Amino acid sequence: MADALARGLRREGMAVDVAYDGGAALDKAREYAYDVVVLDRDLPVVHGDEVCRTLRGEEPDSRVLMLTAAAGVDDLVDGLSLGADDYMPKPFAFAELVARLRALARRAHPASPPTLTVGDLALDSSRRTVTRAGRPIDLTPKELAVLEALMAAGGAVLSNDELVGQVWDENADPFTNSVRMTVLRLRRKLGEPQVIETVKGAGYRV
């Protein structure tokens, strides 16, 4: 199920890492700053409840969405009392999971407005749409995620490695030209005047 969810979330433009047990989950959380952790309660090695408690103490900025096979009110209360920010019983609709993850991610970055604007360029984070001068622009999930990261940076430069970390996942090769090719496609689709600037030796900014 973890692999299937990861594939689906990547198609939505999210960077996703997978851990198959609680010990591995804690190791990853200590190495990477995740916006949201989707946590199954019934994990081997270290139980999901203990993972949740530890995350709350060590990684307070990460939001936790807990998944469980139990759907009773007591289980819901238990999950939230452990520090989970949201709770979904199995089975669940994938579209609802995506919507809840996006809402939790926005809470992880409360300073970011729901609609990012730079000049005549607007990106609606909740609807996943981009317009320029009112004209809709069709972007792939990866293109939209790169543009969103750059616009949310507020003019700061993001390096190639930072964009890989935010938009791809732990298995991405930081030496590939994926970022450069995605930026090239974005520039072509966004049109003139160009809004994405290359800062030589440093990265990109809007």
Domain 2-108: state its class.
alpha beta
pLDDT at 72 over 70: no
Residue 52 contacts residue 66 (beta carbons within 8 Å)? yes
Per-residue confidence band for 76, with pLDDT thresholds at 50, 70 and 90: low
In sequence order, which residues have a C-beta less than 8 Å from that of residue 194 and are 6 or more positions away?
A: 187
pLDDT at 184 over 60: yes
Question: What is the location of CATH 1.10.10.10 in the chain?
Answer: 115-205
What pLDDT score was predicted for residue 47?
Answer: 92
* Rounded mean pLDDT, 90-109: 86
What pLDDT score was predicted for residue 161?
Answer: 83
Question: What is the location of CATH 3.40.50.2300 in the chain?
Answer: 2-108
| Helices 160-167 & 178-190 angle (0-180, nearest 10) | 90
pLDDT in tens, 129-176: 999 999 999 999 889 989 999 998 889 999 988 888 778 766 666 566
Give dist(CA 83, CA 202) in Å, integer.
Answer: 38
Domain 115-205: state its class.
mainly alpha
Amino acid letter, 27: D
pLDDT at 43 over 60: yes
Question: Which of the 8 DSSP states describes residue 119?
Answer: T
* Two tokens, residue 205: 């900014």
Enter the pTM of the model.
0.62
